[in-house]
Structure 1
Amino acid sequence: MIVAEAVGAVLAAAGVRAAFGVVGSGNFHVTNALARHGVRFVAARHEGGAATMADAYARMTGEVAVVSVHQGPGLTNAVTGIAEAAKSRTPLVVLAGEATDARSNFHIDQDAAVRAVGAVPMRVTGPARARQETLEAFRVARDERRTVVLNLPLDVQAAEAATPDEEGLDLAAGAVATPDGKGLDLAAGADAGRKGLDSAVEGERGREEGVSAPSALPAPAVAEVEALRRLLGEAARPVFVAGRGARHARRELEELAERTGALLATSAVAKGLFRGSPWDLDVSGGFATPLAAELIRGADLVVGWGCALNMWTTRHGSLIGPGAKVAQVDLDRDVTGRHVYADLGVVGDVAEVARALTDPGATRSGYRSPELAGRIRAEGRWRAVPYQDESGGGRIDPRTLTAGLDDLLPAERIVATDSGNFMGYPAMFLDVPDEQGFCFTQAFQAIGLGLATAIGAAVARPDRLPVAALGDGGAFMGIAELETVVRLGLPMVVVVYDDEAYGAEVHHFGPHGHPLETVRFPPADLAAIARGYGFAAVTVTRADDLAGVADWIGGPRDRPLLVHAKVTGERPAWWLEEAFKGH
């Protein structure tokens, strides 16, 4: 067995179930080894798409996913997706061929390239320890929630690998020592993969187990937990804001909120976590409804649970009311106070800290009242906020478009949205059943990732209808992956909000009189382009045109559907107006 084959075999043994990539000579053998040992390989049309697909898959399953790319340009093509995953602390292992000969056209300093975007560079250094070094890369990705780029030098890949016995590994026993002495439980890795699969199809159980906590969690300090207990005891109007690090802890947070009278909100990436609770304010920050913003701003204690409380989640800090105290619970000490001043930081797993704080013998009303519950029911979603429909002149108001789609599409859906002026409409007007219904790869704020995000989410959750929401700019950036959707047979709905411009730039610079020729584009028939890839397609310029979407939903859905929506673009979205206030 050559080293490349050993790397693929050991990752499969560790529990990897899905890999995404573009195959070239430098990753041909390792990719085939993954597939031969039972790992599903999804071929993308661009390495950037492959990295984002893997990122989305890992977010939706809680598993370590693999990306496989060619040396040099294969890696650089993937860098934007790798940066997004690294910023989001997504557990990925990127297998990258590496040309170590400086005379090669493929040669670059791959360590420096990936370190620059926040990923962890590692390397298989030789045949004697190839499995050990691969397992260590897997352990760092899984247990430290990091995006690891495992460089595979071409000459090392081709060498004959040492046997597991020669490396001192007993793979059959399911547990091995890793180079740092921390060890890796292969059975736990495989079990995590099984749990991710079970979670994807078992409703409530999926809510509890869909995102696994790391293997080794730091025990929260008693003094920090007690300090948070005092803050909760003193608060009359507490609000919990849960982020990605809390997606496994709905039950614990709801129980603690019940005892303390807290209202519940999420960051955008955890949208849907508290769906169904009468105290769910939905998303905090730029996407917040007027009612949610009012209530969060009125809190006297805001607790961020696995949430950075960054400028987007707090509207540049404006949602933290005067005199309000702030606490943060996170596995990473450095998160505390990074974006807004925090009175207290508690280091620990969200679920464990919440359990430690829950006193079954004490219940306070806190922020909660029957009157407030009524307001949340009546005003707590953007669908309930009145607006003046601005459709006309051959264009549809994006709010009218999205509300119509929300009514038509099945409730069991998974929504992935790209970045741009349009993004608040699908994010907030398309409801989702739970936190597994929304996939948001926006830590790097890159446009062009939305379609690949939807593909990765669809592979992770085949039981739900995948919905990709794109602007025209992002659609054209990722358009090659339309072929991937068709090839995989995904029953996806792709909605393109087309204002024939980079809308955010139009609304940012236009009011100041700057020329906009560089950010406006001529009309393009995206429906015709989609049909060329094998999609069904409808063009929507008014509400009545959504009948074509209804026809597709009621039909065999044997082809994916692209909705080319020509949307109004005279004014910026509400969330963009809020963002501009911070500049």
Structure 2
Amino acid sequence: MRVDQAIGQHLAAAGVSHVFGVVGSGNFHVTNTLKQSGARFVAARHEGGAATMADAFARMSGEVGVLSVHQGCGLTNAVTGIAEAAKSRTPMLVLAPQAVLQNSNFWIQQTQLATAVGAVARSVTSAETAVAEALAALHEAVAQRRTVLLNMPIDILAEEISGNGEYSSQPVSGISVVEPDMDAVQTLAGLLLAARKPVFVAGRGARGKQGASVLTELAAHVGALVGTSAVANGLFAGNRWSLGIVGGFSTPETAALVQGADLIVGWGCSLNMWTMRGGKLISDDAILVQVDLEPEALGAHRDIGLGVVGDVVSTAASVSAHLTVRGESPREGYRTAEVATRIVTGAHWTDVPVDDEFTGDRIDPRVLSKALDTALPDERVVAVDSGNFMGYPAAYLRVPDEDAFCFTQAFQSIGLGLATGIGAAIAQPQRLPVVACGDGGFLMGVSELETVVRLQLPMVIVVYNDAGYGAEVHHFGPDGHDLDTVRFPDVDIAALARSLGCMAATVREPGDLDVVDTWLAGPRDRPLVIDAKTRRDLAAWWLVEAFGH
């Protein structure tokens, strides 16, 4: 068989279940063989969308994401999605054929391109080693939680491999565990025992059922409140001591409780400016601890009192074991009756009253989001694009667990939301997929709306339509700058959606959301697009704080 066919066959045998991409001449055979060998191929309309679909699928399924692109231009089209995945440490394999001749229209320096956006570059070097190199790249992506780009020279892909094409294809191995230093474990245990008001903030590195379990157990032992960064939203869903999202999207009550902590432990969390509100959530006398796989991540965003290199699960389990050996009894810590009441009444935005100043033709995004949370089934998977609007769905739309919230924001690019929702929907088919976009991001990625229709995904797509790039409007507007470059004529997104086969409605007031009930009661055989005309004058609270206005 051909080399590319052998690669496709053995990647499928190693456990690749889904492949996302756009097929061209260079990746035609490898993609078809993956499909013929049992992997599902999801055809996107643009490589950028395909990359984000693969990223979101990996995040929400726990499997490796696989992207297949054409050489050169197919890869460059996918770069933003690859950069997002690389920055997020998403286990993803990019199958990228490579032009051989430098005078080819498709020639680019693909290795340098991958490295420039934080991905790991690997290459197929010969027909005889191609399958082994492809499998090694797959295993590296999973074990090291990296986005790996596999360059596959097209002349090698076209070579014939002698024999029957049988290779040893063991199922892909799991994530490598990094055990913490025991001195660091003991030091962390001591800090937890000394703390009166500890708070755990779990990030991307803590996602997963094991992470939720071990952190819940340890937090209960030491009396810690628990919260997450935005990307780990849902990790502690149902926990009565959960503060929800910690950071710019926090309610005032959650922010006050974190500010009251005397010990904050970031578990697989970067503790960046968004999660710590530029440091405003850290009191002057609080000790800051960070647990992370990467030594260079420790203290990267702010000074810490203790850094522990280790896997979240193994580190938390080691601390719990150490406390048990010492015979330490569970402590009340921050878990008082007064704090429990504060959490129940004010830790989630749906419990915070909204002062709705209805304008008559544009809905308040807080009112919209709160109404959507009530109208939509609890069993949902929520994907959120970037922009001025993004905190509203993130803060108001509750999710059942961490596999129900997909937040592709490491690169802070708009336009990824719709593709994110597709990948999440395929990873969690038992849940209602809900996508939230701004009008700018939606129109940037609108080609994938056809993909939603074609795949018959029962998706609710909410467009927070303020007819502009809201973040820039509210960033520069207060200083008196000309905003003509970031404001646009109002687009009839509902009409656009109908032209592609969607059910659609324009929403200007809460009563218009009756369309959600109608759609939910129907066959759900086509997506519902809500063109929500949102207030243009309402600056998001988290951006007001970040921009200093």
Q: Aligned runs of 1:342-381 on 2, under 5 Å?
A: 342-358=304-320, 359-360=323-324, 361=327, 362-381=329-348
Partner of 1:578: 545
* 1:25 corresponding residue in structure 2: 25
Supply the AA of the counterpart residue of 1:350: V
**Cα pair distance change 1:443/1:164, threshold 3 Å:** farther
Which whole-Å deviations, capped at 9, do the CAs of 1:436-481 have from their partners, x for residues lacking one? 1100000000000000000000000000000010000000000000
Number of the residue aligned with 2:191: 231
Q: Is the 8 A contact 1:233 1:260 kept in 2?
A: yes
Q: CA deviation at 1:273?
A: 0.6
1:264 aligned onto 2:226? yes
2:512 to 533, 545, 557: 545
User: Offset at 1:387?
Assistant: 2.3
| TM-score calculated relative to the size of structure 1 | 0.91
> 1:170 Cα deviation (Å)?
4.9
Q: Describe the SS at the equivalent of 2:54.
A: helix
CA gap of 1:109–1:392, structure 2 versus 1, over 3 A, is: same
Contact 1:93 1:150 in 2 (8 A): yes
Aligned match of 2:429:
462
1:306 Cα offset (Å): 0.8
- AA of the residue aligned to 2:441: G
Q: What secondary structure does 2:160 align onto?
A: coil
- The unaligned stretches of length 5 or more in structure 2 are none
Partner residue in 2 for 1:567: 534
Query: What CA distance in whole angstroms lies between the structure 1 residues aligned with 2:308 and 2:432?
Result: 38
Q: Which residue of 1 aligns with 2:80?
A: 80
For 1:480 and 1:551, locate their aligned partners in 2 and report how far apart those are by CA, in whole Å: 26
Equivalent residue, structure 1, for 2:298: 336
Structure 2 residue 80 is the aligned partner of structure 1 residue 113: no
Matches within 5 A, 1:529-540: 529-540=496-507
Question: How big is the shift at 1:571?
Answer: 2.4
The alignment status of 1:515 with 2:482, answered yes or no, reads yes
Query: What does residue range 249-398 of structure 1 map to in structure 2 within 5 Å?
Result: 249-358=211-320, 359-360=323-324, 361=327, 362-398=329-365
AA of the residue aligned to 2:58: A
SS at match of 2:171: helix
Aligned length: 542
Structure 1 residue 393, shift from structure 2 partner: 3.1
Tell me the CA shift for residue 391 of structure 1.
2.2
Superposed structure 1 runs of 4+ greater than 3 Å apart = 162-165
- In the other structure, the counterpart of 1:243 is 203
1:46 aligned partner: 46
Does residue 180 of structure 2 align to residue 220 of structure 1? yes
Where 1:443 maps in the other structure, the secondary structure is coil
1:305–1:330 Cα contact (<8 Å) kept: yes
Q: Does 1:427 align with 2:394?
A: yes
Counterpart of 2:309 in structure 1: which amino acid?
V
- Matched to 1:366, the amino acid is G
**Distance across 2 between alignment mates of 1:302 and 1:550:** 42
Secondary structure, aligned partner of 2:248:
coil
Conserved? CA contact 2:138–2:172, under 8 Å: no
Q: Measure the CA separation in 2 of the matches of 1:95 and 1:247.
A: 26
1:164: how far off? 7.9
How far does the alpha carbon of each residue in 1:36-87 deviate from its partner, in whole angstroms, 9 at most, with x for none? 1101100000000000000000001111111000011100000000000000
Deviates more, 1:547-556 or 1:534-543: 547-556
State the percentage of identical aligned residues: 58
In 1, the alpha carbon distance for the partners of 2:300 and 2:512 equals 47
How far did 1:163 drift?
4.7
Q: How far 1:139 sits from its partner (Å)? A: 1.4
| Whole-angstrom distance in 2 between the partners of 1:390 and 1:412 | 31
- Deviation of 1:162 (Å): 5.0
| Residue 500 in structure 1 maps to residue 484 in structure 2 | no
1:420-451: per-residue Cα shift (whole Å, max 9, x none)? 00001111111111111100000000000000
Please say if residues 354 and 367 of structure 2, whose CA atoms lie closer than 8 Å, have aligned partners that are also in contact. Answer: no
The CA deviation at 1:499 is 0.4
Rounded Cα–Cα distance in structure 2 between residues aligned with 1:317 and 1:125: 48
